[in-house]
Structure 1
Amino acid sequence: MPSTPSFSAAQKLAESFLRRFSTVTASARRRNLYSRINPLGDPSVSIVPVLDEWIEEGNAVNGYYLKDVVKFLRNRKRLSHALEVSEWMSSKGLCPISPSDLAVQLDLIGRVRGVESAERYFQSLNDGDKTYQLHGALLNCYVREGLVDKSLSQMQKMKDMGVVCCINYNSLMYLYLQTQQLEKVPDVLAEMQKDGVPPNIFSYRLCINSYGDRGDLENVEKLLEEMEREPHIDTDWITYSMVAKFYIKAGMKEKALVNLKKCEEKAEKGNAVAYDHLIGHYAALGGKGAVMRVWKLQKANCKKQLNREYITMLSSLVKLGEFDMAEEVVGEWELSGNVCDFRVPNIVLIGYCQSGLVEKAEALLQRLVAEGKTPTPNSWAITASGYVAKDNMEKAFQCIKEAFAVLVQNKRWRPKDDVISSIFSWVTDNKDIGEVEEFVNSLKSLNAMNRNIYVSLIKTYVKHGKDVDEILERMKVDNIELDQEMEEALNSYSRF
């Protein structure tokens, strides 16, 4: 006969059941109301009708779930939709609204409709609702917009009410960083300590940033030592990475290495972001061996390297001039099973072109194409730019045509004006009128026409005796006025 579980074991079983029940019910909710809200990504499309329909169908509304939806939408920067859910939740009176809910709503109003709307909302509330959370949210609205006077006035009100906390002082420090008043940040930290409010790790980081950005590394070191002495502060890898960055910038390699060692000691083994920071810093110091060592650690301790990790590693290898190793890492990326994001190999393409090795860039790109991968237009544009720099315009022309051919991969892509102008000028001098017009049609579809292209096009049309009226009309649409060079070209046209 099985023994009766102890109270502790029974409690754990109950907690496990509740967690599973919570997961199941949350999943069920997602399959209903959430599944209707999530696809509506266009911020101009209101989700209020979806919420109303949910109620009209007789469905229950769970306040905790709605708050989770607001949080989810905020995290994904769908702020207008988050505000709609928050206001709908308040207006319907279907669930209790806490002070933190009101603070979230005020913050969203400030982000979506501006500070004045946030102020009106704040004034519309009863005095009893104006808790420290509300005052803090209003302060954050002012800080976000860089409104120094209003931020200081709000902070003083909160002090007079006795509701200031560490986060509010941090907001002021962030304000001074944002408005480039770096010398005032340490004063806020000193005021905070004088007022008996213990700084947290973010307080110290903000202050260290203010010293580091001013190149005051002596005070950076002093403040870091103070952090390390504070029993309630657990100085983390992010802090040491930040300090190392300032020493690297100042060319103080030994001190940078000391802090990178501490950074590595503090980082959790499976923390890919920490490894990314270390790899980038070691590359900036020219440490190929350290870069490879940390990359090996990352691959051993992290389940999978995302595209972000490959971009960091490739950027570091390119910075070190290690192109053979970079190509090996590109090969690893190809076998990783990650989404084929050409921002990864583009790092190497750019590195090759900046080093005058555009032929190797094209060879890498052609290899990826031969393996069935479709580049983005930018990948071909990078190589085109490399060939322009080497004055190989025939190759530049062929590469930019390849970019036009894969425009569907990124319809928002726009070529660089200087590269296009150089290529088009060469095309008008070296290709027939049919190829010139084909090139122009591609540029029109991209809205990439500029003054230099119009000058070259007018000269080409005049040279071939073609009517330029359509060009002149297009220039008006693009708000490009005739200049002296265009006038001279037009004056050679027979009808003038």
Structure 2
Amino acid sequence: MLALRRAANPIRSHSAIIVVARACCTKSGRLSTNTEQGEQCHVNHYWRSDGCYTPNSFSYGHFTSAFAFLWSRNLSSQTSTTSSDEEDGFSDLDIPPEAENVKDEELMPEGELSEERSEEAVDNSIEFLDAEVDSKSEKNRLRKRSSVSSVLTIIQEAPRHAMAEALDKWVEEGNKLGRDEAFVALLNLRKWKLYPKALQFMEYLEATKHIDFVERDYSSRVDLVAKVYGLHRAEKYIEKIPPVYRGEMIYRTLLANCVATSNVMKSEEIFNKIRDLGFSLTTFACNQLLLLYKRVDRKKIADVLLMMEKENVKPSLFTYKLLVDVKGTAKDISGMEQIVETMRVEGMEPDILIQAMVAKYYIYAGLKDKADAILKKIEGDGVKENRDACKVILPLYAALGKAEEVERVWKMCETKPRLDECLAVIEAWDKLDKIENAEKVFENMFKTYNKLSAKYYNALMKVYANHKLLHKGKELVKRMSDNGCRIGPLTLDALVKCYVEAQEVEKADSILKKASQRNQMKPLYSTYLTLLDNYAKKGDIHGAEKIFYRTRQVGYLGRMKQYQLLLQAYINARSPAYGFRERMKADNVFPNKAVAAQLASVDAFRKTPISELLD
């Protein structure tokens, strides 16, 4: 962590008071929930509104982390005041945190590689014992595959009240239902986001003792309970877990789910509980806090880094990805470069994803030569020898406007393309406004693989949404349905955007409402923001309040962007927003600089030079 301090810019003259406040951070302490003033005392420690956790009795010893101070000052001065989940580049973690064989840095949330990563999220919570897999016998492998297929069919087709009976009957017929079969079945259920079915299956496994539950299995069930019934029910279930299995993995699973919902109060509470129970502080838990504060309060990132240094918690690759992304979105290119250099000093070479992220922010900053140099480095000796680079560099070459480079790289892949490369080139043609090229790639995929999952339709749907091609979007959705594809959140997001861009806002609103009710799915946060933004621009307070309410209903709470857009509706309607500050306070959301300015402009009791004269 010492090397990480170098990532900050040189110190400028700052208030001595701030320096003293940061200097007080010499011991790790408890996190607290925010109050109106941002300071709420605990028994021994508290978390200040500026993100600094300090002991009650101040110690004016040595300054523990200059980097923490510098990071906070640099970030607060450069971060855009209108950040959103889309700008973050990271969205909610959907990969279960309980898998010990999945490294922290591999838990890349959906945003940076597009939200479609959630379609590929898998559960490693039930330990897969490789020793139990008989690699010598092809017959045994086929039998296992057949068993898993049968189990999945039963789980999917059986009604909720009859699943246990159907599984019991299948086992009585002489079929095996052990850890191997359970693991693969749960893996697929999670991959398809069939969380209620997965939870019911785990309840069955626990009740029937088909497998002996260990901490990893209980942790997986905690994760499913949180996803299906919410955090409160997950906490209640934890109380029922035998104490011997109620370890750190259980609570970090709950922590990840708290962070996934951006619930600051609950996340800090669970983090404190992990410390209070005496569990060692892990990189995973710290990464969860970094991810949370990246979304809701970036000034606190410095304090998490300070805590990691004090507790000797080593940053992982994912930690650096988060920090590079934060610096990039803050347009702090120098800081971003120093983070990357720090990685190398610490003996951790940036992977392709980090290099691609750096190239992306170079492009956004107008440093095209630097971006091009990184892309050439990623490409290495050529895409033939380095096929993994293709899916990364295709969209970035498109962002640089280099159609000839996209064509060159794609030509190398076109003869035998991989599915992820097809997705990448569709995105690239979309950025270059070459819709026919994107359609051609999709049709060639369809001919080659015959049956495609919704993920690949969604790539083309996104092209149609970005280019306001409502008619083509509707046709593609019908084609998806005819081919047996589930219309999921990503498809719905693109379809709603198509209708909004075609100025059919009421129809988009109606489709969103029906889809969320009939299909019992949770639409993306960005889908609601699309409608909320449109109503805000029109100054339609009724429409904006309606979408804001529905956003909260489905569980998107405490996110600054939705308040900003709702306030904008009041501003554009030239209407005062009575009690808005109190509404935010009730949701434990505190105005940033941009929102504070919006609140001032819609304050019915605001004093102006004219009002003071008239008074």
* Short-chain TM bin: 0.5 to 0.7
Report the equivalent of 2:258.
142
Report the CA distance between 1:94 and its aligned residue.
3.1
Q: 1:36-51 alignment to 2 at 5 Å?
A: 36-39=154-157, 47-51=163-167
Instruction: Output the CA distance in 1 between the equivalents of 2:362 and 2:481.
Output: 43
**What letter matches 2:169 in structure 1?**
E
- Which residue of the other structure, out of 417, 428, 439, is the alignment partner of 1:304? 417
Letter in 1 for 2:365: A
User: Structure 1 residues 152, 276: CA separation in 2 closer, same or farther (over 3 Å shift)?
Assistant: same
Alpha-carbon distance in structure 2 between the residues aligned to 1:418 and 1:321: 16
Q: Among 265, 272, 275, which residue is 2:390 paired with? A: 275
Tell me which amino acid in the other structure corresponds to 2:214: S
1:118 aligns to 2:234 (yes or no): yes
Corresponding position of 1:244? 359
CA contact (8 A) 2:290 2:322 kept: yes
**Residues of 2 paired with 1:214 and 1:172: CA distance?**
19
For 1:25-424, what aligned pairs fall within 5 Å after superposition? 25-30=143-148, 32-39=150-157, 47-57=163-173, 59-160=175-276, 161-178=278-295, 180-231=296-347, 233-265=348-380, 274-299=389-414, 303-306=416-419, 309-310=421-422, 312-317=424-429, 319-320=431-432, 336=448, 339=451, 378-379=471-472, 416=499
Q: Report the 3-state secondary structure (helix = DSSP H, G, I; strand = E; otherwise coil) of the residue aligned with 1:47.
A: helix
The residue aligned with 2:96 is none
Which whole-Å CA distance do the structure 2 matches of 1:133 and 1:407 have between them? 40
Q: 1:36: Cα distance to partner?
A: 2.6
Q: Give 2:406's aligned amino acid.
A: V
CA contact (8 A) 1:182 1:214 kept: no
Question: Which residue identity does 2:241 align to in structure 1?
Answer: L
- 1:343 deviation in Å? 6.7
Does the Cα contact within 8 Å between 2:283 and 2:316 map onto a contact in 1?
Answer: yes
Q: 1:227 to 1:256 in 2, by over 3 A?
A: same
In 2, the alpha carbon distance for the partners of 1:82 and 1:273 equals 33
For the residue of structure 2 that corresponds to 1:196, the secondary structure is coil
| Partner-residue secondary structure (3-state), 2:380 | helix
* Partner Cα separation in structure 2 for residue 230 and residue 95 of structure 1: 42
Relative to its length, the structure with more helix (as a share) is 1
**What TM-score do the two structures reach when normalised by structure 1?**
0.61
How far does residue 73 in structure 1 lie from its aligned partner after superposition?
A: 1.2
Alignment deviations for residues 95-149 of structure 1 (CA, whole Å, 9 cap, x no partner): 2111000000111100001111001111223332211111211212221222212
State how far apart, in whole Å, the 1-side matches of 2:144 and 2:421 are.
Answer: 33
Q: What is the TM-score when the length of structure 2 is the normalising length?
A: 0.51
Distance 1:76 1:339 in 2: 16
CA distance in 2, matches of 1:408, 1:324: 23
CA distance, structure 1, for counterparts of residue 486 and residue 238 of structure 2: 43
Query: Could you tell me how far apart the structure 1 residues matched to 2:382 and 2:220 are?
Result: 32
Structure 2 CA distance, aligned partners of 1:183 and 1:176?
8
From the superposition, tell whether residues 289 and 186 of structure 1 become closer, same or farther in structure 2 (CA, over 3 Å).
Answer: farther
Cα pair 1:237 1:266 within 8 Å, conserved: no
Query: 1:315-354, CA deviations, whole angstroms, 9 ceiling, x for partnerless residues?
Result: 4345445678778767866865655877777788789x77
Alpha-carbon distance in structure 1 between the residues aligned to 2:439 and 2:168: 55
* Distance in 1, Cα, partners of 2:211 & 2:391: 44
SS state at 1:96 partner:
coil
TM-aligned CA deviation for residue 218 of structure 1: 1.5
Cα offset for 1:91? 1.4
Q: CA deviation at 1:280?
A: 0.9
Deviations 1:20-79 (A, max 9, x none): 465234124235434433455x8x676333223234546443233223322221122111
Given that 2:327 and 2:335 are in contact with CA atoms closer than 8 Å, whether structure 1 keeps it comes out as yes
Supply the distance in 2 between the matched residues of 1:15 and 1:61 (Cα, whole angstroms): 14
Distance 1:174 1:253, change over 3 A: same
Q: Which has the larger radius of gyration?
A: 1
Output the amino acid matched with 2:359: A
Contact kept in structure 1, 2:147 and 2:176, CA below 8 Å: no
**Deviation of 1:282 (Å):** 0.9
Between 145-154 and 83-92, the greater mean CA deviation after superposition: 145-154
Residue type of the partner of 1:171?
Answer: Q
What does the per-residue CA deviation read over 1:185-226, in whole Å, with 9 as the maximum and x for residues that have no partner? Answer: 343234223311111111110111122122222211111111
Change (3 A) 1:279 1:87: same
When the two chains are superposed, the root-mean-square deviation of aligned CA atoms in Å is: 4.3
Equivalent in the alignment of 1:428: none
Q: Is the 8 A contact 1:236 1:266 kept in 2?
A: no
Rounded to whole Å, the distance in 2 between the matches of 1:408 and 1:332 is: 19
Report sequence identity in percent: 25
Q: How far off its partner does 1:314 sit?
A: 4.5
Q: CA deviation at 1:419?
A: 5.3
Paired residues of 1:37 and 1:47 also in contact (CA < 8 A):
yes
- d(CA) in 2 for partners of 1:169 and 1:327? 43
Distance 1:136 1:244 in 2: 33
Change over 3 Å in CA distance of 1:349–1:217 after alignment to 2: closer
**Partner in structure 1 of residue 579 of structure 2:** none
Find the aligned partners of 1:227 and 1:196 in 2 and give their Cα distance. 16
Q: Which amino acid is the alignment partner of residue 416 of structure 1?
A: Y
Amino acid at match of 2:400: L
Describe the shift of the 1:143–1:293 C-alpha distance in structure 2 as closer, same or farther (beyond 3 A).
same
Give unmatched runs, 5+ long, in structure 1.
1-13, 355-360, 362-376, 384-402, 423-442, 448-496
Q: Judging changes above 3 Å, is the alpha-carbon distance between structure 1 residues 158 and 247 closer, same or farther for their aligned structure 2 residues?
A: same
Using the alignment, how far apart are the partners of 1:62 and 1:405 within structure 2?
39
Change (3 A) 1:194 1:263: farther
